[in-house]
A and B are shown apart, each in its own frame.
Chain A
Amino acid sequence: MIPGGKDLEVAFSEGGQVKDLVHTIQREYPQVGELLEKKKVLVSVNQEIAHWDTVLNTADEVALLPPFAGGSADL
């Protein structure tokens, strides 16, 4: 999930880690992959920010999160 609700589809095996998913995205969607690599975009699993070694299961809810802007820095 990214702002605007766009979904990406990637083939992924059960039990893999977030870093494996990132590598797959880097291959299939290089522009998104670059943002993940630079940590401009974070990965969440089941609505918590994930680490690169977080293990993924089929039923997990995975989202790619661009930098947040909850209000503004100088509101």
Chain B
Amino acid sequence: MRNWLPFEWIAAIRFLRDGWMQTIFILAGVSMGVAVIVFMSALLTGIQANFLNRVLSAQAHLVLLPPDEVARPLRAMDGVIQDAVVQRPSQRIRSIDQWQTVLRQMQAMPEVAVATPVAAGGALAVRGEASRSITLTGVEPEGYFRIVKLPETIVAGQPRLTSEDIVIGTDLAVELGVGVGDKLRVTTATGRDATLTVTGLFDLGNRGVNERSTFVALRTAQSLLGLTGGVTSLQVSLHDPYAAEIMAQLAHGMAGIRADSWIRTNIQFFTAVNAQQTSNTVIRLSVGLSVALGIASVLVVSVVQRSREIGILRAMGARRGQILRVFLIQGGVLGLLGSIIGSAAGVGALVAWHASVRQADGSALFPLMIQPQLFVVTAVVASLTGVLAAMAPALRAARLDPVVAIRG
């Protein structure tokens, strides 16, 4: 008997030890439940973070674009609209009006981490007899590469972009038979062309993107696309990616600007995440409920088994509150111990799974994200669940009539 422990703790621990078989079985049950919750939570967090990281390292949080061109209906002198059907005009490549001013405004906002101009349009990459349609993206590397981590995907050469350089995808390089240092002619629909040097090859992990995407200096793209001094979009990175939608609405307020947030352009991703979270929550609640019912049922049995001892304790001067606490503590201890064992088992299973399940190239399927707060939250929630689950049996024990209990 430890001197510093009050009666309730001493009795609770002794009762758990005395009924060791029941205790082991329920501890195993609680641990398994907690392990499932920890495993699923850590897995989901890792997969989401990985997905988010992939999405956000390949695109800006906010893209500011010129507004769509709209055809105005032709009106007669008396205000009557002459043409009943107005066809939507084709969208030619246009610059954002006064983009330098808009860029400065964006850069001045405290929420904005990086804002950089981009001039993009379609073109043809020609090498001898072969030609491929490409998307020509003109960027200022020092800003753009902070948003899109292109240098990290370079597999050959370097991400250098002077006005004579071009960085292309590995698949386009294969198609056209070029390598680092080779020349490539780029022509646009307006007839402008330039011969550029391939300085780097990137691999963005998607064949279509690797075949089509190319990066050049902003001035080169402006010149090829006929956008002298103009840009087709402003790419913005925010300190808080989830503020993108609010910032998009703010940007809408600026004259002549259309703003797309990454949240809107990846709406399917968010739908998938929400669905995952909902199903995960349902599973966690179900498992939690099973754990709570398990603890409650074991303690109910314990109260029945110990009713005579409870009666004797009451006869010897145990107050109702003391008896209540003895069983609440047992529930809490079962929850806490179960959460510790279960967390260790869950993390063990996660590490084993992470080590055994690999992508085709042998790399990890997702980064292993084990957050310490998950264990703290799990321990607190499991202990509280144990205490709550113990409430009904504890009340039953506290309300036992000692006369009836002793008689048995």
A binds B: no
A residues sitting closer than 8 Å to B (CB atoms) are: none
